[in-house]
């Protein structure tokens, strides 16, 4: 991590939408930090779809070896956190309490990774609180995980604009799943995503990374993430 990000101690991983690879990117950052001997915690403020998919925290444990993982709320249906809570008749996540909990974790860890649900502006409670609000409350930078293919430029531009409007530092754009056989759109997007971000890509993880064993996954993480996220991508 760069001195700027490491000094904050908290990094939010968000995305342009669901299914773009946030959990694998979170696991990759966690794996690299663990390999350096850092005390790493990973928190999923709200896990939805419990019982239908492997929980994100479990995937992160399997891939990275980081066992210091936390969930603050769980909801059965694979919906946005606020909708999942409302549908299940459960109280939504208390975002103020979440910010306090994460700040407490950061006091005894070198790095706390916070993985959001869905995209940056997905609602977590009836007041419309989002992972962007949580990042703002924590004064934490955010990594934006983006898809590789057609449509990603608009989604990424909107996400980066929303971060900038809230004065949240962008820690860069990571392509969460780079296809084995990229087409013209994917190859062209590499240049255009860097233009949108105003810097080189912060990372690119190959398709299928989440199916690897821990040793191979660490090697992929090191090769696929940029230096400020602990990797060696240039």
Measure the CA–CA gap between 80 and 39, rounded to whole angstroms. Answer: 30
Measure the CA–CA gap between 172 and 225, rounded to whole angstroms. Answer: 10
- Joined together, the tokens standing for residue 62 give 């399997």
Cβ contact 180:206 at 8 Å: yes
Query: Can 22 be counted among the known catalytic residues?
Result: no
* DSSP per-residue string spanning 164-190: HHTTPPEEEEEEEEE-SS--HHHHHHH
Q: What is the dihedral of CA 75, 134, 168, 170, to 10 degrees?
A: -40
Single out the catalytic residue among 8, 22, 44, 228: 44
Q: Which residues are catalytic?
A: 44
């Amino acid at each position: 991590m760069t001195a700027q990000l490491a000094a904050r101690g908290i990094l939010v991983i968000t995305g342009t939408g669901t299914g773009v690879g946030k959990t694998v990117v979170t696991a990759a950052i966690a794996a690299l930090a663990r390999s350096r001997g850092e005390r790493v915690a990973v928190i999923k403020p709200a896990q939805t779809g419990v019982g239908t998919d492997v929980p994100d925290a479990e995937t992160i444990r399997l891939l990275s070896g980081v066992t210091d993982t936390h969930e603050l709320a769980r909801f059965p249906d694979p919906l946005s956190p606020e909708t999942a809570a409302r549908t299940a008749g459960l109280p939504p996540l208390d975002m103020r309490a979440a910010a306090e909990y994460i700040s407490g974790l950061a006091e005894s860890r070198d790095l706390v990774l916070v993985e959001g649900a869905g995209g940056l502006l997905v609602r977590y409670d009836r007041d419309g609180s989002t992972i962007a609000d949580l990042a703002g409350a924590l004064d934490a930078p955010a990594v934006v995980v983006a898809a590789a293919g057609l449509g990603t430029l608009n989604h990424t531009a909107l996400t980066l604009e929303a971060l900038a409007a809230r004065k949240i530092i962008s820690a860069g754009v990571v392509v969460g799943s780079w296809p084995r056989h990229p087409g013209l759109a994917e190859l062209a997007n590499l240049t255009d995503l860097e233009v949108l971000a105003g810097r080189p890509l912060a990372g690119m993880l190959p398709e299928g990374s989440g199916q690897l064993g821990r040793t191979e996954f660490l090697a992929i993480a090191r090769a696929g993430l940029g230096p400020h996220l602990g990797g060696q991508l240039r």
